[in-house]
Each structure stands twice: as structure tokens, then as C-alpha cells.
Amino acid sequence: MRRLMYEMRRALQSPPRHPRLAVVVGRLLGAAFLVCFGTGLYSHFLQNPIPGMVFPTSPVVLYSWTQGIHVAAGIACFPLLLGKLYVVYPRLFVFPPVRGPIDLVERASIAVFVAASIVQIVTGLLNTYEWYPWPFPFRQVHYALAYVIVGSLVIHIGFKLPLIAEYWTKHRTADEEGQPLPVMETEGEDAGALRDTVAPGDAPRGLTGRVLRWIDATPDAEPRVSRRAFFATTVGVAAGVVALTAGQSFRVLAPLNAFAPRTMGIGPNRGLPVNRTAAAARITEDLVGDGWRLAVRGRDGVDRLFSYDQLLAMPQHGVDLPIACVEGWSQMATWRGVRLKELLAAVGRRPGEGARITSMEVRGSSRRSEMSAQFIDDDRTLVALRLNGDVLDMDHGYPARIIAPARPGALQTKWLGTIEVTRS
């Protein structure tokens, strides 16, 4: 078995399978995961704030950027993770697989990291297509796995610190030029001694023996692809998939958008994409007809109902704000409507108080949102009645919807029913 594993590693030798490349690709992968973690936490806390948290409302495109970067970095993880696994997977054939309790922790942390990151990026990508072929709630699992990934990554980096330091710069690698490639870190195993102690003739019979004969018959791997070429390909593919999808979030890349789930410029109200249609949300013509009223409730029992015409009779303000979906697409639009804070002043909202915003939609995860004071106090936060010069389309939330700066799209509630003042 020992010899079989050794021979496996030898057969898998190739120039890219070198600690230097494991470090270089690992750095990029680690950076991509940390970017995803930071932007993901920001998005999480915007949607589930810890009481007392305060968020910036400027620049208005802040969330479009952080979420666009989150999804782009997540997409870049696919080629980076595959590249890294290609470089290091001969380590699967280290024998014995575990040398002791500490080694067990090290290898287990890698197993956990690899498994969790594959689940994370695959489910994350499918989420951008709004496809959920699994029985668990996406958001909670995505959030929990983020900690699993970062935790196992920290353990992994801790164990590999000496190796990382050694191969961080090119120098050490240059010294090895012209030397035989290391059989991916045999770690103390003396390769020569190993070959001597187990002569080819000792090969066990059966499957193991056959595999060994097959490996022996395989000519020693020619350097088919250089380290540099492998790295350039990995980075090139990562840059390519990002360039071909990030156009859903970043205008400059929009012409290159080849297979992102959303395309800028397609949708009602002069090309604004729709996330959930009125039909899907079961918003009927009846609900939004002449009988529609927006209920606004204060905390002291002051209740007011606003008809569409009453809202139109209030001072109207215009503002350019993006819809920035948590799934990564975003697009700028021009909105017009009533300032939320002026509406809430009519029911006696006091400084520092927040609001709970509820849609007429009866089911659906985005039918309700909470807004804290700093968003309400911002002049640009509107109960929007018009979009890009026209009355709101049914699919964009007619008769009225919320639009606020630097907020996740999921909180920009459509088809407003009730707005209540809350304590914070």
C-alpha cells in the first residue's frame, strides 16, 4: 500500500504540482473567499441588523458594488478552487493518511474547507439563477457555511504557515530550477529509501499489483504544461468568467455579459429588470384599484390612510437610485415620489424611530422589511410612485413601493400596504 501510494504520487508529478503554485493560487483563492466573507457579512447585517448597528446611506451605489463584488468573487472561486485542487490533490495519496492527532486536525480542516466551499459556491451560483434544488433554506445555510469556511481556512493557513512563508516569494523556487520535482511533499518520507525497501517484485498481487504495474508501464510524466502556463490559464479563466458575468452588476461590463442570469436594460419602465412579477406575487388589479389605500401607523395610535391621489398631492421628489439585488444584479433608475420621512411625520414619528414596511403580497420572503432611522432620515428615501418618467409598472410595485439608497433590493418593498413606525 505504501509503495502504491508513493507510486501514485510519482505518476502524478507535473510542474504545476509544486508547493509554490499551491501558495500562489491559494493566496488568490483565500483573498476571494475573504472578499466574499466581508461583503457577505455586510449584506447579512443590512438584512438582519444587530440592534444599534448603523449603516451608511452614501454612496447610493455602495450595496450594488459590495454585492456585485460578492457574486463576482464567488464566481472567480470556481476556477481558482479547481486549479488549487489540481495542484495539491496528489496529497490524497500520502501514506499513512494520518500520522497522529495533530495531522488529523490538519487534514480534517482541509476536508471540511474543500467540502464546505464546493457546497457554498455551487449553491451560491444557483441562487443567482433563483434555482433552489435542495431542501434547506439557502440564506441561513450560506451564512453558516461562511463561518465554517473561514474557520477551516484559518486552521489550514496556520498549519501551512512555514510552507507558505517558504514559497511566498519566488527565490526559493528559483533555487530548485533544474532539480527533480518534489514528489509533492513526502514530509520526511525518504523517497529513495522507500523505493529501495520495496522492490518492484514485492508488489502485492491483485488490484494493488495491477495498478503498480500500470504505473510502472507509464512513462515518467513529461513536463506537459509549465507552472507559469498553468497559473496563467487559471487566472485567465477566473478573469474570463468574471468578465462574462459581472455585466449584470457593473454597467461598464454590460456589453460583455454572456451568461449572467440578468441582463441590464430588459424589463418594464424603460428596461428595468423585474425580480418577482405582480402575477407571481398574486397582486391582482382589484388590490391596486381605486380602493387601494396606504395605511400609515404611528406609535401613539395615530393611523392614517392615504389614497393614491393624496400621495400624488404631497410634495414629489426625484432621485436616481439603483435596485441592487442580493443575487448580484443591479441597475440604476430614476424614481419620483413622496419622502418617507414626510409621510411618517404625519403620524408623529419621533427622531430615531424606525419603520416596518409590509406589502399587500400575502406570501413571499420579501413581503416585509424593516428600516432603521438613518435610512428614513435620508432625503432620498421615497415611497416611489413613478419610475423612469412613467407611472410604476405593476411588476415594479404599482401603486407604490419603497426605494432607499445603499440597501439590498430585497428590502425595497413593492406593492405597499402598510407602514408602521417602530421603536428603532
Taking the complex as a whole, the smallest distance from the CB of residue 269 to ligand MTE amounts, in Å, to 8
- Are 248 and 264 in contact by the 8 Å Cβ rule? The answer is yes
Contacting ligand MTE within 180-239 (CB under 6 A):
none
Q: Which is nearer to Mo ion, 349 or 407 (CB)?
A: 407
The length of the chain is 424
Q: Which stretch binds Mo ion (CB under 5 A): 224-232, 240-248, 272-280, 411-419?
A: 272-280
Q: Which is nearer to Mo ion, 83 or 409 (CB)?
A: 409
**∠ CA 69-16-236, rounded to 5°:** 30
- Cell of residue 19, nine digits: 508547493
Q: Is 413 in the site for ligand MTE (CB under 6 A)?
A: yes
Q: Which is nearer to ligand MTE, 19 or 397 (CB)?
A: 397
- How far apart are the C-alpha atoms of 275 and 415, rounded to whole Å? 13
- Identified binder of Mo ion from the candidate list 71, 409, 414, 416, rule CB under 5 A: 409
DSSP codes of every residue in 370-410: EE-HHHHHSTT-EEEEEETTEEPPGGGTTT-EEE-TT--GG
- Identified binder of ligand MTE from the candidate list 73, 74, 336, 361, rule CB under 6 A: 361
- Identified binder of Mo ion from the candidate list 46, 357, 410, 421, rule CB under 5 A: 410
Q: How many Å is the Cα radius of gyration of the chain?
A: 28
Binding map of ligand MTE across residues 387-406, x = CB under 6 A, - = no contact: ---------xx---------
Q: Which stretch binds ligand MTE (CB under 6 A): 100-108, 140-148, 150-158, 270-278?
A: 270-278
Q: Which stretch binds ligand MTE (CB under 6 A): 87-95, 184-192, 221-229, 362-370?
A: 362-370
Q: Which is nearer to Mo ion, 79 or 409 (CB)?
A: 409
- How far apart are the C-alpha atoms of 279 and 364, rounded to whole Å? 12
Contacting ligand MTE within 293-352 (CB under 6 A):
323, 325
The site partner of 359 among Mo ion, ligand MTE, none (C-beta below 5 to 8 Å per kind) is ligand MTE
Taking the complex as a whole, the smallest distance from the CB of residue 408 to Mo ion amounts, in Å, to 7
- How far apart are the C-alpha atoms of 36 and 236, rounded to whole Å? 20
The site that binds ligand MTE (CB under 6 A) totals a number of residues, namely: 21
The site partner of 26 among ligand MTE, Mo ion, none (C-beta below 5 to 8 Å per kind) is none
- Identified binder of ligand MTE from the candidate list 77, 121, 409, 421, rule CB under 6 A: 409
- How far apart are the C-alpha atoms of 423 and 11, rounded to whole Å? 67
Helix 62-88 with 227-245: angle, nearest 10 deg: 150
- Are 245 and 329 in contact by the 8 Å Cβ rule? The answer is no
Q: Which stretch binds ligand MTE (CB under 6 A): 25-33, 51-59, 233-241, 271-279?
A: 271-279
- Identified binder of ligand MTE from the candidate list 274, 404, 406, 419, rule CB under 6 A: 274
Q: Is 407 in the site for ligand MTE (CB under 6 A)?
A: no
- Cell of residue 391, nine digits: 407611472
Taking the complex as a whole, the smallest distance from the CB of residue 338 to Mo ion amounts, in Å, to 23
Taking the complex as a whole, the smallest distance from the CB of residue 91 to ligand MTE amounts, in Å, to 42
Q: Which is nearer to ligand MTE, 29 or 311 (CB)?
A: 311
Question: For the chain, what percentages of helix, strand and coil (3-state, to nearest 5) are there?
Answer: 50, 15, 40
DSSP codes of every residue in 349-371: PPTT-EEEEEES-SS-TTSEEEE
Give which of 40, 38, 25 is closest to 78, Cα–Cα.
Answer: 25
- How far apart are the C-alpha atoms of 203 and 209, rounded to whole Å? 5
- How far apart are the C-alpha atoms of 346 and 262, rounded to whole Å? 39
- How far apart are the C-alpha atoms of 232 and 255, rounded to whole Å? 25
- Identified binder of Mo ion from the candidate list 325, 347, 357, 400, rule CB under 5 A: 325
Taking the complex as a whole, the smallest distance from the CB of residue 231 to ligand MTE amounts, in Å, to 37
Cis peptide before 96 (omega within 30 of 0): yes
> Residue with the closest Cβ to ligand MTE?
409
Report phi then psi at 305, rounded to 5: -110, 130
- Identified binder of ligand MTE from the candidate list 242, 281, 382, 406, rule CB under 6 A: 281
Taking the complex as a whole, the smallest distance from the CB of residue 288 to ligand MTE amounts, in Å, to 12
**DSSP run (H or E) holding 68:** helix 62-88
- Identified binder of ligand MTE from the candidate list 272, 383, 394, 400, rule CB under 6 A: 272
Question: Where along the sequence are the contacts to Mo ion (CB under 5 A)?
Answer: 275, 325, 409-410
Question: Where along the sequence are the contacts to ligand MTE (CB under 6 A)?
Answer: 272-276, 281, 323, 325, 359, 361, 364, 366-367, 396-397, 409-410, 412-415
